[in-house]
Every structure is written in structure tokens, then in C-alpha cells.
Structure 1
Amino acid sequence: MSTLNGLKDTIGRYGIWTSLAPHADDQARLAELAEASAELEELGYGAVWLGGSTAARHAAPLLEATGTLTVGTSIQSIWQYDAEESAAAFAGVEAAHPGRFVLGLGVSHAKLADQYRRPYSALVAYLDALDAAGVPADRRVLAALGPRTLELSRDRAAGAVPYLVTAEHTAQAREILGDAPLLAPELKVVLEADPARARAIARKTLAMYLALPNYTNNFLRLGFTEDDVTGGGSDRLVDAVFAWGDEAGVRNRIEAFHRAGADHVALQVITDAGRDALPRQEWRRLARLLK
């Protein structure tokens, strides 16, 4: 696809992943994040990825508040928004902010979507509908974990935005994708050097994901054991899916994903204040250590 390298160049090496759910339609929350996004752009981040099942309308306020920042959904559930609705919303945002919105799509999880049936086939059909509606393949990315969906990311999208993965998964994903498609894994960051405290903060976030088989099955494919994915997650698992430590340690863990083949890493800062608080001070610290 002709614009793939353009997308890689536009979003750069680092972005910020931030959760909106369950407040996706909270206008005050969106306004707060839009204001923060202007600072993230100034700090040098190339993209903001909106977590939860977000859509183009949630990206619009961030795009309006910034001049060059790319905003993507990470991810929009195919069960929550039908393809025709998604295509119309994409067209509206594209008209207002050409080239700056990326539609990140995923199949979510059986525990979170009552309609969850034959997820791979449903995703293929969704992409077919987007094609028919004129949404360019090179402006959408897929939340791919397993080999088949990674291949779909290569063949039917601009690339993949895997969530809750390791550097080893990133290396495997790059091998499947090849050189051209975008590979932009999400990585959680805890800016805490004390091992016990850092892992305790990490486990508060990790616990909810360990109840979702899509993630635990992926960990098992990567060589982790049942013991690793129970009891809040083993130290081995926490250390693989979180970057924590002093500034040099955090930077090294982030760069490990680039060395494994990531073009861009979507950094989710985790603090003991919880997911609803925007960690703006930590975003500033992270920007400084990445320079």
C-alpha cells in the first residue's frame, strides 16, 4: 500500500494509549483529554490511541484541539458499531481532518460482547463491508494477537495494533507481517523503581485482563504456563508486559519492543491513581526519558 510508510513516518516511534471507557461519551472527559492532547503533541508524541470501544466521534475533539497529531481507536469493537455506521463516521472525520484518523478495529471478547460468534469470520465480513463503503485499507489497523488475524492485518489493513503483548510476540508478529505493514503494540509503563511497588501497581491493572481467554491463550502460546496467568500474574508475566523501573530501565524495556520489530509503541502509563485519572505529569516524565 502506497501510504504505509507515510503513516509510519507520521506517528513516529512513540504514542500514548489512554482509556476512555466507561466514559466514552462523557463530554467533560473528552474535553479534558482534548486539552491534554495538545500538550502531548507539543511533547513529541506522534499519536494518541483511544482505548475501550471508541469510535471516530471520540477522536474528533482531539483532532480539533491539535494540528498534526494522529488519533486512532484501540479499539473499536466490530460488535458495537456496524460497518456502515463506521464508514460514515470515518468519512466525516476524514473530511474535517484529512489523513489524521486511524480506524483501529477488533473483535473484543466473548465476555464483553453478547453477539460474539465466529469472530474471525465476522471481522472478515466487516472489512468487506468497509471496502464496499470506501474506507481505505491503509487507514485501518487490527487488534491482532494470533497468526490468522496478523495475516489479515497484513493483507486487509495497514497493519496491527496488538494489545497486552510481549517483545517476543512483537518479533513473531513482525515475521508474519513482513517489513511494510505497521506494527504498533501497546505497552504498559509504571514509572516506579521499587520492584514490589511497581509490580503491585501493575497487577491491579493486569487482573482484569487475566479473566479474558483471548489474552491468556495468547500468553500460553508464547510459552507462559497456567501458573503465570493465575493469582494476579507471575513476576515473569508482569515483567514481560510492563515496562517498570528507573528511567534507564523503562527506556530499555520500551526499546526492546522496537528491537523486536515494532515501528511505533503505544505507551499506556499506569499509576496507583487508577485508570480514570489522566497521568499528565507521568506523560511529561516519559517524554523526557524518550528523548
Structure 2
Amino acid sequence: MVTLQESVGRYGIWSAALRPGGATPDAEIREAAAELEELGFGAAWLGGSGVEQAVPLIEATSRFAVATGILSIWQHEAADTAARFLEVESRHPGRFVLGIGASHAKFAAQYQRPYSSVVGYLDALDAAKVPAERVVLAALGPKMLELSRDRAGGAHPYLVTPEHTAQAREILGAGPLLAPELKVVLDSAPQTARATARGYLGMYLTLPNYTNSFLRLGFTEDDFANGGSDRLIDAVYAWGDDARIRSRIDAFHAAGADHVALQVVTPGSTAGAPGPLPRAGWRRLAGIVG
């Protein structure tokens, strides 16, 4: 049986713009997915997606893994998610990874007891015979990382540092998948690269799940002002020339990541409006990671 690590490979692409049904025509999304596979990436992570949105990308490729990164447990009933997962798995065995998470109070009116709610969701998936080894959790804190180890195939932490990755690997142990997301700005000029990064990061700094994670890593409230301090930007982004970007990506693998999901951030894009597919950036990234 192919393991989750083998399925997704060492590098993937994270993109909300790859979700079918959005601003980008579905035909271009299929074409882009096929190109990502040819470029050598192992997986696509679809930001804020449902199971059904992964299907067109799976159908457009032959071996590429597609993951929800992350499906909100508040927006998708567990029974429906399980049924959709099993349908995709029966048609495309081993090609789909179910990433789930508790999202944020700002985005879910019913948000409460996130840990217990994720446990209940996992219970429902288990009851429906969804294999736990094909599920990964959005995990930042120790308790959710432990749940990723004990009840799922691994963790997909978003907006983290190599230091967080090292801590996560210690909690997960050697077996489960650890697939952090890393934002990339393909710009060598510090001022403009950081400006692009701040334009995208600002919304995330209004979400306690992320700011609390940063505080646990040693950042302070001062690091959250004005879109993020240089120290914070440099910790959670890879920017610069090809060698510098490769070094930042390598730091996550050295800290214990099995897979790094790379999100190209372009000037003017925001978390709420990711913009067009950054296909030229993906091609450059493919060269950077070899």
C-alpha cells in the first residue's frame, strides 16, 4: 500500500485559486493541475475547499494527489464528507487526502469547543469507514497535534515556522505525515518582497489561532502590528533569490517536515482574493526545488 508520504511527495502547491467554481475557469484549473504534475509536484492543497472540488484536478492528472487544505468541519456535515470521500476513493484509489479543521470563530457562527468538535467529526468519519490514514488535521497547538498522531494520518499546519515544525515532529513521532504550508514571494528586493507579504498576512493576524501560535513560538504583540514585523515576515515566508528560497524550504524539511505545501503570494493578492493562478511562479518553484 502506498503511504501518505509517498502519495504527496516532498513538495506540493497550496492554492485557493485552484478550487473549481471560482474566478478561474475550470478548464484552466484542469490544465494547471496537469502542468503541476508534469513539473514534478506531488500534491495540490485546495484552500478552504470541499471534497467535490478535488475531483476535477484528480481527473485531469494521472498520479497527482489532491487534498482539501482545509475542509471546515462547520461547513460540511461529517456524514456527507464521508460519503463523498468514499465515492472519490472508489473511483480514484489513493489519490485524495482529506484535510479537515476547526477553522476560526470569525468564519463560523457555530464555532465552539473546537477540539471536541474535531474529535466528534473524526468519530463520525471512523463510523463511516473513512480510513484514518487518509485524513490529516489542521493542527497548530499540542493537543491538536497529538490528535493528528493518534486519530489521523498526520498534520497540515498552516502559517508556521521551522521551529514549529520541529516541535510538531517531536509530538507526532516518526510515523505520521507532517506537511506544513509555506508562503513564497518570488522577489529579491527586501522592501517590495516584505510589502507583498504584509499585504497577504494582515488578515491572518486578526485570527487568535495564529497569533496564539506565534506567541507560543516567542513572538510578541509588537510583531503583529502593521501587517507583521520584519522578524515575523522572514520567519513565515520564503522570499529572495532562488538560493535563499531553497534554503528556507530546506529548513522545514530539516526540522522534520515530510512534505512542504508551497503557496506563491503575488503583489496585490490577499487572503480573500488570491488572484489568478501564479503559473509562472510555480514553474520557477519547480526549478528551485529540482
Structure 2 length normalisation: TM-score?
A: 0.96
Summarize deviations over 1:145-198 as a string: whole Å, max 9, x none.
Answer: 000000000000000000000010000000000010000000000010000010
* Identical residues among aligned pairs (%): 65
Q: Write the distance in 1 (CA, Å) between the matches of 2:154 and 2:60.
A: 26
Counterparts in 2 of 1:37 and 1:248: CA distance versus 1, 3 Å: same
Q: Do the aligned partners of 1:84 and 1:133 also contact (CA within 8 Å) in 2?
A: yes
Q: Do the aligned partners of 2:82 and 2:130 also contact (CA within 8 Å) in 1?
A: yes
Matched ranges for 1:166-205 at <5 A: 166-205=161-200
How far off is 1:92 after superposition? 1.2
Summarize deviations over 1:37-84 as a string: whole Å, max 9, x none.
Answer: 0000000000000002x1110000000000000000000000000100
Letter in 1 for 2:227: G
**1:278 to 2:277 alignment:** yes
How far off is 1:20 after superposition? 3.8
* Structure 2 counterpart of 1:157: 152
Q: Do the aligned partners of 2:149 and 2:172 also contact (CA within 8 Å) in 1?
A: yes
Q: Write the distance in 1 (CA, Å) between the matches of 2:279 and 2:39.
A: 11
How far off is 1:273 after superposition? 4.9
Letter in 2 for 1:18: S
* Structure 1 counterpart of 2:141: 146
Structure 1 residue matching 2:127: 3-state secondary structure: helix
* Structure 2 counterpart of 1:71: 66
How far off is 1:257 after superposition? 0.3
Q: Write the distance in 1 (CA, Å) between the matches of 2:235 and 2:109.
A: 31
Q: 1:46 aligns with which of 42, 45, 48?
A: 42
* Structure 1 counterpart of 2:11: 14
Letter in 1 for 2:131: P
Aligned length: 286
Q: Write the distance in 1 (CA, Å) between the matches of 2:136 and 2:26.
A: 23
Q: Do the aligned partners of 1:19 and 1:276 also contact (CA within 8 Å) in 2?
A: no
**1:122 to 2:114 alignment:** no
Structure 2 residue matching 1:266: 3-state secondary structure: strand
Q: Do the aligned partners of 1:209 and 1:215 also contact (CA within 8 Å) in 2?
A: yes
* Structure 2 counterpart of 1:211: 206
Q: 1:111 aligns with which of 100, 106, 110?
A: 106
**1:260 to 2:259 alignment:** no
Summarize deviations over 1:95-132 as a string: whole Å, max 9, x none.
Answer: 11111000000000000000101010000000000000
Matched ranges for 1:73-88 at <5 A: 73-88=68-83
Q: 1:240 aligns with which of 230, 235, 242?
A: 235
Letter in 1 for 2:184: V
Letter in 2 for 1:255: D
* Structure 1 counterpart of 2:28: 32
Counterparts in 2 of 1:271 and 1:26: CA distance versus 1, 3 Å: closer
Structure 1 length normalisation: TM-score?
A: 0.96
Q: Write the distance in 1 (CA, Å) between the matches of 2:266 and 2:23.
A: 23
Q: Write the distance in 1 (CA, Å) between the matches of 2:46 and 2:205.
A: 21
Measured on the aligned residues, the alpha-carbon RMSD in Å equals 1.3
Structure 1 residue matching 2:206: 3-state secondary structure: coil
How far off is 1:31 after superposition? 3.1
Q: 1:96 aligns with which of 91, 94, 104?
A: 91
Q: Do the aligned partners of 1:30 and 1:58 also contact (CA within 8 Å) in 2?
A: no
Q: Do the aligned partners of 1:78 and 1:107 also contact (CA within 8 Å) in 2?
A: yes
Letter in 1 for 2:46: L
How far off is 1:10 after superposition? 2.2
How far off is 1:29 after superposition? 3.5
How far off is 1:270 after superposition? 0.5
Q: Write the distance in 2 (CA, Å) between the matches of 1:24 and 1:215.
A: 27
